[in-house]
Amino acid sequence: MPGKRGIKMKVELVLDEKFLEASKALIRAAKKEVYIMAYLLAVPGMKKEGKIAGLFKELLEAKNRGCDCRVIVNYTVPDNKISRDNRLAAKWLTYHGIGCRYVSRNRTVHAKMIIIDGVTLIVGSHNWSQRAIQRNVEASVEVEDGKILKEAKGRFLELWKDADWMEA
């Protein structure tokens, strides 16, 4: 799709459960970095993994390949269900050597982004939860555009620098 100045950009709509396969494929293809920002990351239960487990598996494999993997999640005080789920995810992530932080000053991280190698961005409404994948009506967009990716990655790194470590 031609953008401004005649430069081509890739934009694809990723609806509902298609987010799962698109995200897994992109994380699987990552060569150097995977940056994730989400309102909710719900680690699958031990008894019943569910479909969302594939995202965590791909993220761990990216880390094991040597990719820089970082996650920013929402956290509020006083505690609520989202904060508790995110704290469990942080515990899982940090146990596996993946950095996890939350934005301080009691701000809500409502953005949902996955940035792969500074080249591809998925941004939209999908949280990393069974509900988002299997029940909700969700819409995200996969984008490959240098200017947009530079801005998204810059914002992520700015938030990361000022964020607090997620205590598991």
- Between residues 104 and 110, which one has the greater pLDDT? 110
DSSP helix, strand, coil percent of the chain (3-state; round to 5)? 40, 25, 35
**Do the Cβ atoms of 11 and 142 come closer than 8 Å?**
yes
- The pLDDT value given to residue 134: 84
Q: Summarize pLDDT for 31-58 with one digit per residue, the tens.
A: 999 999 999 998 876 445 678 889 999 9
Lowest mean pLDDT among 44-58, 98-112, 146-160: 44-58
Q: Right CATH number for 4-163 from 2.60.40.1180, 1.10.10.60, 2.102.10.10, 3.30.870.10?
A: 3.30.870.10
- The pLDDT value given to residue 63: 98
pLDDT > 90: percent of the chain: 60
Strand residue runs (E) in the chain: 10-15, 33-38, 68-73, 99-102, 113-116, 120-124, 139-144, 164-165
- The pLDDT value given to residue 46: 47
